[in-house]
């Protein structure tokens, strides 16, 4: 279970890094681009993720994860005035998550916490939120790639480069390591 916690933290960091690397490639105007009416821009996805993180992870062992102060519907209204403001909120949400899970120990994992009065073990809550964040970070990356087109800097193995990537990996000695350590 100790490896579960450290692996979860690394996975969350990986998803944050994907978002960071996408956001860094885009202008403030590009972050606000909506492809069709009533779709979500990257800015809105960031606002939603941060709102979710702040609600779920603030005092998460003692309070319901859906806080009374959360205004979820407002997360889908763009109120950002700058890219810096967007990045600050993005980091505030992630910092809240990491501040909540970094101190956890194995004994915490079966503790029951609540999200909208539904009981979850801490393990289940971590898994639920990780999948939610991966879903939205995937949207952020996909939208970023659509926006940048040929100017996109790949965040994984670029098309046509799998053989080179695998050759590099197989030249290294076998060993136990997390896949994010080589990124």
The string of pLDDT tens digits covering residues 89-121 is 999 999 999 999 999 999 999 999 999 999 999
Supply the pLDDT for residue 178. Answer: 75
The pLDDT of 11-32, averaged and rounded, is: 98
Q: Is the pLDDT of residue 183 over 90?
A: no
Question: Which residues, 6 or more positions from 102, have their beta carbon under 8 angstroms from its beta carbon?
Answer: 9
pLDDT > 90: percent of the chain: 84
DSSP letters for the chain: -HHHHHHHHHHHHHHHHHHHHHHHTS-HHHHT--SSTTPPPHHHHHHHHHHHHHHHHTTTTTS-SS-TT--GGGGGS----SHHHHHHHHHHHHHHHHHHHTT--GGGTT-EEEETTEEEEHHHHHHHHHHHHHHHHHHHHHHHHHHHGGG---SS--TT-HHHHHHHHHTSPP----GGGG-
Please tell me the pTM assigned to this model: 0.93
Domains and CATH numbers, the chain: 2-156 (1.20.120.450)
Supply the pLDDT for residue 179. Answer: 77
Cα gap 145→157, rounded to integer Å: 14
Among 51, 50, 53, 33, CA closest to 42? 33
Helices 42-57 and 2-24 cross at an angle (nearest 10°) of 150
CB-based contact 43:144 (threshold 8 Å): no
Supply the pLDDT for residue 1. Answer: 59
Residue 182 — very low, low, confident or very high, per pLDDT cuts 50/70/90?
Answer: low
Residue 158 — very low, low, confident or very high, per pLDDT cuts 50/70/90?
Answer: confident
Residue 61 — very low, low, confident or very high, per pLDDT cuts 50/70/90?
Answer: very high
């Amino acid at each position: 279970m100790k490896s579960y916690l450290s692996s979860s933290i690394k996975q969350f960091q990986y998803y944050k890094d994907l978002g960071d690397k996408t956001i860094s490639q885009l202008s403030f105007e590009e972050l606000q681009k909506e492809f069709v009416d009533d779709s979500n821009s990257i800015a809105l996805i960031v606002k939603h993720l941060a709102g979710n993180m702040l609600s779920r992870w603030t005092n998460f062992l003692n309070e319901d994860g859906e806080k009374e102060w959360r205004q979820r519907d407002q997360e889908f209204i763009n109120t950002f005035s700058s890219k810096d403001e967007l990045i600050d909120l993005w980091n505030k949400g992630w910092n809240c998550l990491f501040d909540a899970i970094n101190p956890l120990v194995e004994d915490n994992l079966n503790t029951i916490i609540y999200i909208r009065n539904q009981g979850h073990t801490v393990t289940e809550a971590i898994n639920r939120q990780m999948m939610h964040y991966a879903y939205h970070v995937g949207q952020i990356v996909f939208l970023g790639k659509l926006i940048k087109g040929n100017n996109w800097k790949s965040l994984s193995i670029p098309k046509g480069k799998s053989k080179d990537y695998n050759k590099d990996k197989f030249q290294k000695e076998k060993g136990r390591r997390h896949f994010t350590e080589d990124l």
